[in-house]
């Protein structure tokens, strides 16, 4: 975004001639002086000449970066800079990382064990759930056989291992299509060989969803931006593989699968933006620009019957999402014994059979509903000994009790 011009000035020692007697032989050259201070940033360059108009009057637009939208779309800009999207990958170029002005997350004080910040070219995420790091050749820093902890989890502020079967310096950064704006699979960003592809701007910014804005910025009334309200826009990144299936591992649905989940629920009739404001963060609130998060509708506005009819008065203070959107997916941190991950499920449907399985036989896929484990047992342990695994546990409830209350819960 910003180009900073470093001017290096070097001072050299100069000898002085005396005025008495014949001039002696020239002395040896003095040592080089200390490096001068960095020069001031150079003045902005002049605007380039206007490009030629294309056949229909306007050439293909360039990516201009989100700061070019700030003056005219102050509200959207202020919302987006406070969300996780723009910080999906951030160039540090070997410098000590300085978080951007409105960065909502938290980077660790130190780089992964065995590395200095000079060995790190990019930080991946660290905005919401976890941070990973790219080395100075463009490869993602992995644990390898040494099992060094190289991933930083925000919630617990702990380092954990990542890719213990991949030697450091071998894992290419192929993540650009979902982490950057204006991605092209050609070439290597910043000439780092481990990075597959190049892009116009780090992170997910305005033009990742609205298309390149170069022409619109010049002439906003004549050139419209793309507005795509379809779930497939969000689903191009919030997906894993084929959206017909819901991949799982280690007792949790994997992360970035909201589109897989929605596609397997009756809410596939809705678009993500029917519930979400695309510019606002759901995870990072802000008193002025985002007091209520990205979800703009109440479940009750469509499901007024269920809202009015609930079998339990003891649980009447719960929100719909407490039972219908438990954190059954995991990005960084998960407590398997308490059925508690760190990403809200988008499956919604609850299977009230106490023996229903959440996953297929080998645990690689999630079934398209929530079992009572995630909907109920994440609060209600099955017995006192199970309760020890919980941070906050409510009353112990047997299978029979849960099933009895769950069945026909809103009848």
> Restricting to residues 83-102, which ones interact with ligand HEC according to CB under 6 A?
83-85, 87-88
Output the six-digit token pair for 157. Answer: 């502020």
Does 246 contact ligand HEC by CB under 6 A?
no
Do the beta carbons of residue 61 and residue 213 sit within 8 Å? yes
Radius of gyration of the chain from Cα atoms? Answer: 28
Does 324 contact ligand HEC by CB under 6 A?
yes
Query: Which one of 47-55, 189-197, 199-207, 354-362 is the stretch in contact with ligand HEC (CB under 6 A)?
Result: 199-207
User: Out of 141, 195, 325, 328, which residue is the one contacting ligand HEC (CB under 6 A)?
Assistant: 325
- Phi–psi pair at 18, nearest 5 degrees: -85, 165
Distances (CA, A) of 208 to 1, 65, 115, 234, 411: 15, 10, 32, 10, 44
> What part of residues 123-142 is at the interface with ligand HEC (CB under 6 A)?
124-130, 132, 140
Tell me how far apart the alpha carbons of residues 131 and 125 are, in angstroms, rounded to a whole number: 5
> What part of residues 260-299 is at the interface with ligand HEC (CB under 6 A)?
262, 265-267, 269-270, 272-276, 278-279, 281-284, 294-295, 297, 299
Other residues' Cβ atoms within 10 Å of the Cβ of residue 277: 18
What torsion do the CA atoms of 363, 368, 373, 376 make, to the nearest 10 degrees? 160
Does 58 contact ligand HEC by CB under 6 A?
no
Query: Which one of 17-25, 34-42, 303-311, 382-390 is the stretch in contact with ligand HEC (CB under 6 A)?
Result: 303-311
Q: Least distance in Å: CB of 36 to ligand HEC?
A: 39
Tell me how far apart the alpha carbons of residues 105 and 84 are, in angstroms, rounded to a whole number: 8
Tell me, residue by residue from 2 to 31, as one string, x for binding to ligand HEC by CB under 6 A and - for no binding: ------------------------------
Nearer to ligand HEC, 321 or 363 (CB): 321
Q: Least distance in Å: CB of 11 to ligand HEC?
A: 44
Does 220 contact ligand HEC by CB under 6 A?
yes
- Candidates 115, 97, 114; CA nearest to 106 is 97
Tell me how far apart the alpha carbons of residues 209 and 181 are, in angstroms, rounded to a whole number: 9
Does 320 contact ligand HEC by CB under 6 A?
yes
Nearer to ligand HEC, 9 or 385 (CB): 385
Does 321 contact ligand HEC by CB under 6 A?
yes
Output the six-digit token pair for 333. Answer: 């941190």
Tell me how far apart the alpha carbons of residues 404 and 410 are, in angstroms, rounded to a whole number: 12
Burial degree of 62 (CB within 10 A; 0-12, 13-18, 19+): middle
Nearer to ligand HEC, 42 or 222 (CB): 222
Query: Which one of 21-29, 51-59, 171-179, 191-199 is the stretch in contact with ligand HEC (CB under 6 A)?
Result: 171-179
Distances (CA, A) of 164 to 11, 91, 126, 147, 160: 50, 25, 20, 6, 11
Tell me how far apart the alpha carbons of residues 400 and 388 are, in angstroms, rounded to a whole number: 21
What torsion do the CA atoms of 350, 354, 360, 365 make, to the nearest 10 degrees? 30
Nearer to ligand HEC, 77 or 252 (CB): 77
Nearer to ligand HEC, 95 or 274 (CB): 274
Which residue matches tokens 């291992």? Answer: 161
Does 67 contact ligand HEC by CB under 6 A?
no
Does 307 contact ligand HEC by CB under 6 A?
yes
Does 374 contact ligand HEC by CB under 6 A?
no
Does 252 contact ligand HEC by CB under 6 A?
no
Does 120 contact ligand HEC by CB under 6 A?
no
Nearer to ligand HEC, 38 or 74 (CB): 74
Query: Which one of 30-38, 111-119, 190-198, 252-260 is the stretch in contact with ligand HEC (CB under 6 A)?
Result: 252-260
Other residues' Cβ atoms within 10 Å of the Cβ of residue 379: 20
Does 318 contact ligand HEC by CB under 6 A?
yes
Tell me how far apart the alpha carbons of residues 118 and 212 are, in angstroms, rounded to a whole number: 33
Q: Least distance in Å: CB of 382 to ligand HEC?
A: 12
Do the beta carbons of residue 180 and residue 89 sit within 8 Å? yes
């Amino acid at each position: 975004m910003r180009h900073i011009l470093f001017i290096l000035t070097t001072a050299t020692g100069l000898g002085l001639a005396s005025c008495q007697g014949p001039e002696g032989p020239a002395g040896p050259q003095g040592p080089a002086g200390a490096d001068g201070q960095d020069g001031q940033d150079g003045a902005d360059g002049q605007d380039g000449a206007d490009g030629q108009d294309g056949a229909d009057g306007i050439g293909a637009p360039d990516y201009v970066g989100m700061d070019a939208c700030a003056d005219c779309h102050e509200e959207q800009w202020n919302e987006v800079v406070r969300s996780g999207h723009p910080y999906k990958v951030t160039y540090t170029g070997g410098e000590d990382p300085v978080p951007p002005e409105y960065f909502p997350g938290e980077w660790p004080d130190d780089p992964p064990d065995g590395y200095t910040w000079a060995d790190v070219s990019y930080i991946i995420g660290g905005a919401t759930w976890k941070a990973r790091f790219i080395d100075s050749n463009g490869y993602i820093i992995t644990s390898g056989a040494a099992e060094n902890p190289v991933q930083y989890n925000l919630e617990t502020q702990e380092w954990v291992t990542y890719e213990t079967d991949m030697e450091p310096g071998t894992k290419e950064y192929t993540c650009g299509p979902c982490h950057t704006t204006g991605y092209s699979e050609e070439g290597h960003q910043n000439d780092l060989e481990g990075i597959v592809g190049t892009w116009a701007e780090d992170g997910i910014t305005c033009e990742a969803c609205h298309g390149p804005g170069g022409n619109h910025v010049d002439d906003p009334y004549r050139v419209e931006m793309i507005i795509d309200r379809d779930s497939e826009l969000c689903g191009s990144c919030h997906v894993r593989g084929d959206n017909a299936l819901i991949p799982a591992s280690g007792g949790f649905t994997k992360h970035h699968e909201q589109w897989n989940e929605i596609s397997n629920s009756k809410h596939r009739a809705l678009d993500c933006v029917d519930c979400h404001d695309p510019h606002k963060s759901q995870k990072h609130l802000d008193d002025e620009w985002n007091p209520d998060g990205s979800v703009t509708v109440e479940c009750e506005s469509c499901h007024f019957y269920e809202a009015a009819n609930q079998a339990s008065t003891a649980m009447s203070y719960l929100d719909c999402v407490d039972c219908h959107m438990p954190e059954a997916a995991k990005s960084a941190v998960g407590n398997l014994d308490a059925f508690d991950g760190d990403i809200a499920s988008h499956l919604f449907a609850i299977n009230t059979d106490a023996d229903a399985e959440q996953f297929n036989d080998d645990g690689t896929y999630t079934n398209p509903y929530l079992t009572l484990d995630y909907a109920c047992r994440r609060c209600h342990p099955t017995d006192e000994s199970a309760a020890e695994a919980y941070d906050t546990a409510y009353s112990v409830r047997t299978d029979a009790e849960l099933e009895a209350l769950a069945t026909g819960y809103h009848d």
